[in-house]
Amino acid sequence: MEEHNTGAGIPNVLLRADFPEVQPTSSSRKRRCERWVLSLTQTELHLHKVNSDSSATHRLALADCIGCRTFREDGDNQVTICFSAVFYPLRKKGRGPSATSSRKKVVKTFRVDSFEIFEKNQEIADIWARKIKELSALSLDVTDGLLYGILPQPSRVLILLNPHSGKGQALQLFHSQVLPMLNETEIQHKLIVTERQNHAHELIQEEDLSLWDAVIIMSGDGLMYEVLNGIMKRPDWETTIKKPLGILPGGSGNALAASINHYSGHDNAVDEDLLINCTFFICKGLTAPMDLVSVTTSHRHMFSFLGVAWGFISDIDIESEKYRTIGSARFTVGTFIRLTSLRVYRGRLSYLPANDDTGKQCKTSVDLEVNGFCHSLSCKQSTSTPNVNSQHMYNACNSNNLMKSHSSDSSIPFSKTTVASGPLDSLAPPLSKPVPNHWTVSEEQDFILVLALYQSHLGDQFFTAPMAQPNDEVIHLFYVKAGISRTSLLKLFLAMEKGTHLESGCSHIVHIPVKAFRLEPFTPKGIITVDGEQVEYGPIQAEIHSRLGRFISGVCT
């Protein structure tokens, strides 16, 4: 006797029925449709072809499903109705460091034809669509809830898009790749196309963000930097910075997008593959805290999500602007050009190593009213006795003897130079003051580059800090010492694509996990970038602010 596979052996089936599958071509209505038994469990949709052996089965993970809707087909038959579920399963290509992961769309549409009455078929289609959507939505347990969040479903998002980012195709890509996915998930959105540099920076300071569950940036890292710093200038920065930010790679430097893709367990992806992965994350709506870094130069104070660069990397970033039409390949071209005439920069690095727990000894939180804003400090600092060198305060922290310490006007850092508001720095003294005794101060030396990175990727093809996590409370400080040969430097950069550069045994590259650092350049001219944007050249320092921001992050499936 022929054995028919009905999926009867699947445990914990919530819904089971058989329906004909509707193929995506318009003429399909006329074609004979295959009939499938559908079994819906808590985590999967199983499909078994009716009247076939067990080989004709498919399993689709609901974690990959972004939406399910019902619709009526065109044509003369008015009693049937369809439900259609959209999945983006992950396809892996290759193995090891060169593996790539990309999500490819799979749509499964079924016609409900069980009854001769439309309303009865509609009822069944609605039950299936609702249940598939409900089970596809992420849920968190109580412990995760402290760290992670989920956007309301369906969510409302504000999208800011730079039409000139990357190869200038961001708007086109939005319409062809992103919009269909947002519609499939029924995400409501408002799209604002930026008209000029700083447009998003100004707009985000004024916008009523209570209307939106998340703010999405479609561009490179530069527009995210504008938006982050706009948010930090708002009087309500303390709550607004918790509004989830999302990134859709449309630029030539897509470091944040590549990093988030990596944190979610996806292998490297570039171009449209990366864009689809990141859109998928927005559709699923998982949010996670992210460390941010406050950066101070002589005249500015800003916030950063990616990194500070000086020397080889910032030179390439800024000097390759003229090749922007070739997208992220501009960095590869720039690398080869810079290699032919290698520059050496003299300077001094000081830093607070990440494993130094000196600062933790004096961790008592107080609120201090500065410039009309309430700031939370992790080191208790008094403002009563001015004009005492800040060194005293840090020594006091060091010896866990805070109450006996002299206080100092340095307890209100940046009061003169602040552009962004935000939390006060508690690890780094003002730039004009010496670094605390417990910091490490390196010898003045010649560098090829200095890079402080707090994400895994420096660009979508530069897996520079494989050890970095979005909330590891660490600034990954790298430098390459002068004296390295061009060949070794080239090898380092080539290995960086796969993240194996630190395993190469090159003695010229140094990696130090830190919580704060100060860079004092002595070479009179050069380029310093923060998140890929050029800032004033001169002394610069930065410190980590643990979990200050919240970003839409990837889902490990």
Positions marked catalytic: 221
Among 253, 347, 429, 554, binds Mg ion (CB under 5 A): 253
Task: Tell the smallest beta-carbon distance from residue 498 to ligand ADP (Å).
Answer: 22
Segment lying near Mg ion (by CB under 5 A), choices 52-60, 219-227, 331-339, 412-420: 219-227
Distance, in Å, from the CA atom of 388 to the CA atom of 350, rounded to the nearest integer, reads 22
Amino acid at 355: N
Q: Which does 314 bind (CB under 5 to 8 A by kind): ligand ADP, Mg ion, none?
A: none
Q: Which does 162 bind (CB under 5 to 8 A by kind): ligand ADP, Mg ion, none?
A: ligand ADP
Asked if residues 100 and 93 have their Cβ atoms less than 8 Å apart, the reply is yes
**Chain-centre distance for alpha carbon 109:** 33
- Residue 367, burial from CB neighbour count under 10 angstroms (0-12, 13-18, 19+): exposed
Q: Which does 223 bind (CB under 5 to 8 A by kind): Mg ion, ligand ADP, none?
A: ligand ADP
Asked if residues 356 and 438 have their Cβ atoms less than 8 Å apart, the reply is yes
The interface mask with Mg ion, positions 167-206, x = CB under 5 A, is: ----------------------------------------
The interface mask with ligand ADP, positions 324-353, x = CB under 6 A, is: x-----------------------------
Task: Tell the smallest beta-carbon distance from residue 532 to Mg ion (Å).
Answer: 4
- Residue 328 — left, alpha, or beta (φ > 0 → left; ψ -120 to 50 → alpha)? alpha
* 252 contacts ligand ADP (rule: CB under 6 A): yes
Binding positions for Mg ion, 494-553, rule CB under 5 A: 532
* 220 contacts Mg ion (rule: CB under 5 A): yes
Task: Tell the smallest beta-carbon distance from residue 15 to ligand ADP (Å).
Answer: 45
Task: Tell the smallest beta-carbon distance from residue 212 to Mg ion (Å).
Answer: 24
Listed in order, strand segments (DSSP E) in 50-115 are 57-61, 65-71, 81-87, 90-93, 100-103, 106-112
Which residue from 527, 506, 507, 502 is spatially nearest to 450, judged by alpha carbons? 527
Q: Which does 195 bind (CB under 5 to 8 A by kind): Mg ion, ligand ADP, none?
A: ligand ADP
* 222 contacts Mg ion (rule: CB under 5 A): yes
Asked if residues 159 and 213 have their Cβ atoms less than 8 Å apart, the reply is no
* 165 contacts ligand ADP (rule: CB under 6 A): yes
Task: Tell the smallest beta-carbon distance from residue 157 to ligand ADP (Å).
Answer: 18
Supply the DSSP symbol for 459: B
Find the length of the chain. 557
**292, β-bridge pairs:** 545
Q: Tokens 């310093």 correspond to what residue?
A: 528
Task: Tell the smallest beta-carbon distance from residue 289 to ligand ADP (Å).
Answer: 23
The interface mask with ligand ADP, positions 191-210, x = CB under 6 A, is: ---xxxx-x-----------
Among 44, 184, 207, 226, binds ligand ADP (CB under 6 A): 226
Asked if residues 313 and 451 have their Cβ atoms less than 8 Å apart, the reply is yes
- Residue 76, burial from CB neighbour count under 10 angstroms (0-12, 13-18, 19+): exposed
* 221 contacts ligand ADP (rule: CB under 6 A): yes
Which residues lie below 8 Å from residue 349, measured CB to CB, with a gap of 6+? 441, 442, 450, 477, 479, 517, 518, 519, 520
Distance, in Å, from the CA atom of 389 to the CA atom of 396, rounded to the nearest integer, reads 12
Task: Tell the smallest beta-carbon distance from residue 51 to ligand ADP (Å).
Answer: 54
Segment lying near ligand ADP (by CB under 6 A), choices 222-230, 333-341, 350-358, 442-450: 222-230
Q: Which residue is nearest to ligand ADP (CB)?
A: 220
Q: Name the site residues for ligand ADP (rule: CB under 6 A).
A: 162-166, 194-197, 199, 219-223, 226, 251-253, 324, 532-533
Residues that bind Mg ion (CB under 5 A): 220, 222, 253, 532
